[in-house]
């Protein structure tokens, strides 16, 4: 990924999420709250620095993006209004947008469902990605 493109993506992420990463005081409450912390390669409190350093490639390709349950605990508890969960959501959005019109049709969904899948993730995903 070229440098310019990454830069533009970082701006896009800030725009979609409405997050000002400079507000972060690195307290770590997001990582302390995260139920998927151990599954993640990039930890919630690190998202901010990836966006700040315009290191989007790593973020977009990280496992964390798809391990986040969108439980919003970090959004709820962040004392600085940074809300790393929103960054994850925005990064996912970015990936989806890049893939273009590659959406699932409604019929395809039930067979792909994992019975272990948390209900909240589904609801959150629908809320986020519906057209």
Residues in the chain, overall count: 131
Among 16, 31, 67, 121, binds another protein (CB under 8 A): 31
Of the candidates 74, 90, 104, which has an alpha carbon nearest to the alpha carbon of residue 15?
90
Q: Does 58 bind another protein (CB under 8 A)?
A: no
118 binds another protein (CB under 8 A): no
Among 16, 58, 69, 73, interactor with another protein by CB under 8 A: 73
Neighbours of 26 (CB within 10 A): 11
Q: Residue 51 CB: number of other CB atoms within 10 A?
A: 24
Binding site for another protein (CB under 8 A): 23, 25-34, 37-38, 43, 45, 73, 76-81
């Amino acid at each position: 990924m070229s440098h310019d493109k990454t830069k533009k993506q970082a701006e896009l992420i800030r725009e979609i999420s409405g997050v000002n990463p400079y507000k972060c005081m690195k307290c770590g409450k997001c990582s302390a709250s995260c139920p998927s912390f151990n599954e993640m390669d990039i930890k919630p409190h690190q998202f901010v620095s990836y966006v700040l350093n315009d290191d989007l490639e790593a973020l977009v390709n990280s496992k964390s993006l798809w391990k986040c349950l969108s439980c919003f605990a970090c959004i709820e508890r962040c004392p600085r209004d940074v809300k790393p969960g929103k960054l994850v959501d925005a990064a996912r959005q970015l990936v989806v947008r890049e893939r273009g019109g590659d959406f699932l049709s409604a019929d395809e969904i039930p067979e792909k469902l994992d019975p272990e899948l948390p209900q909240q993730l589904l609801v959150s995903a629908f809320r986020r990605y519906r057209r």
